[in-house]
Amino acid sequence: MASDTTSGALPTAARLTFLAMVPVHLVVLVWGGFGHVVLATCGGWMIFAYVLFVGPVLFVCLAITTVLSFFRRERPRTLPVPQVVTLWVVWLGLIVFGTFLADFGDVEGSQCSVLGDTSEQIGLSNVLAASGLGVAGLAWVALTVLQAVGLARQGRTKHDPRMIAS
């Protein structure tokens, strides 16, 4: 792959995505747990569950993809287009999850979501949040596989007969 920037040209989306990876990962981690609090102005037990269980798993998953991205040999570092697209899907899924996550407190009627407080709205919100998390999870698996395959290909030389044709 040729250099991502040529003669002072602006960086491409692939390079910008690589550069934004760590800050955006931190933002979506925080948004996943607290986005529904910002938008629906309610916070309850889901924050506790997120901080103890979901957040650490997401942190490890996002850290894995970040570290794998830094193992790329090419300079300036960038991401191939399939990895960029899957990473954007991961981010979008986590944003949807944090936006639509319904929450509840200790008292009756304390359920709330960005969509509203009725049981139907809470149910739809839960479906959207679970869908966002599911899509993000599938995209993360795809991204990790793409990164592993890319690193395996990068480790082979031109003269290696086992080299996978590009």
Q: What is the pLDDT of residues 42-70, one digit of tens each?
A: 778 888 888 899 999 999 999 999 999 99
Residue 37 within any structural domain of the chain: yes
Kindly tell me if the per-residue pLDDT of 143 is higher than 90. yes
Secondary structure (3-state) at 112: strand
- Of 68, 131, 67, 60, whose CA–CA distance to 99 is shortest? 131
Name the token pair of 119. 């049981």
Which domain covers residue 74, as residue numbers? 13-151
Q: What is the pLDDT of residue 7?
A: 40
Residue 164 within any structural domain of the chain: no
Q: What is the pLDDT of residue 163?
A: 44
Q: What is the pLDDT of residue 40?
A: 67
Secondary structure (3-state) at 6: coil
Residue 38 within any structural domain of the chain: yes
Cα Dmax for the chain: 69
Residue 51 within any structural domain of the chain: yes
Residue 66 backbone dihedrals phi, psi, to 5 degrees: -65, -45
| Measured CA distances, 166 to 28, 34, 150, 153, 154 (Å) | 33, 42, 10, 9, 11
Residue 166 within any structural domain of the chain: no
Which residues, listed in sequence order, are joined to residue 112 by a DSSP beta bridge? 103
Kindly tell me if the per-residue pLDDT of 166 is higher than 50. no
* Band of residue 4 on the pLDDT scale cut at 50, 70, 90: very low
Residue 161 within any structural domain of the chain: no
Q: At what angle do helices 13-40 and 81-100 cross, to 10 degrees?
A: 10
Judge if pTM exceeds 0.85: no
Give mean pLDDT, residues 106-116.
Answer: 80
Residue that is written with structure tokens 């709330």 in the block: 112
Residue 146 within any structural domain of the chain: yes
Residue 165 within any structural domain of the chain: no
Q: What's the number of domains the chain is made of?
A: 1
